[in-house]
A = this chain, B = another copy of it.
Amino acid sequence: MTNHQKLRIGIVGSTGYGGVELVRLLLTHPLVEITSVISSSSAGEPFSDGYPHMTEILSQPLDPVDVELIKSKADLVFTATPAGVSTELAPKLLDAGLKVIDLAGDFRLQSRETYERWYQKKAPEAAYLQKAVYGLSEVYGEEVAGASFISNPGCYPTATLLGLVPAVKAGWIDPDTIVIDAKSGVSGAGRGVSLGVHYSEVNENLKAYKVNKHQHIPEIEQVLSREAGREVVTTFTTHLVPMTRGIMSSMYAEINGTRTEEDFIALYREYYEGRKFVRVRNKGILPATKEVYGSNYCDIGFAVDARTGRVTIISVIDNVVKGAAGQAIQNMNLMMGWDETLGLMHAPIYP
Contacts and interface: CB of A to CB of B under 8 A. Distances in A.
A198 B288 CA distance: 15
A186 B212 contact: no
B206 A20 contact: no
A195 B206 CA distance: 21
A149 interface: no
A203 B193 contact: no
B200 A17 contact: yes
A257 interface: no
A199 B203 contact: yes
A250 B239 CA distance: 10
A303 B185 CA distance: 22
Contacts of A291: 52-53, 55
A54 interface: yes
Nearest to A288: B207
Interface residues of A, number: 84
B212 A288 contact: no
A199 to B, nearest CB: 4
A333 B280 CA distance: 36
Interface string A323-351: 00000000000000000000000111111
Interface of A: 17, 20, 23-24, 27-28, 51-58, 177, 179, 181, 183, 185-187, 191, 193-195, 197-209, 211-212, 233-235, 237, 239, 241-246, 248, 250, 252, 276, 279, 281, 285-295, 299, 303, 305, 307-308, 310, 312, 314, 316, 320, 346-351
Given A55-B291, A193-B197, A198-B199, 14 more contacts: A55-B281, A57-B347, A179-B181, A181-B252, A183-B183, A191-B195, A193-B193, A193-B195, A198-B198, A199-B199, A204-B290, A207-B286, A235-B308, A237-B303
Shortest 6 CB-CB distances between A and B: which pairs?
A205-B290, A207-B288, A181-B181, A53-B291, A200-B351, A211-B303
24 contacts: A24-B347, A52-B285, A52-B288, A53-B348, A57-B347, A177-B177, A179-B310, A183-B183, A186-B200, A191-B198, A193-B197, A201-B290, A204-B246, A206-B243, A206-B290, A212-B307, A233-B307, A235-B252, A237-B250, A237-B252, A237-B303, A237-B312, A242-B242, A242-B243
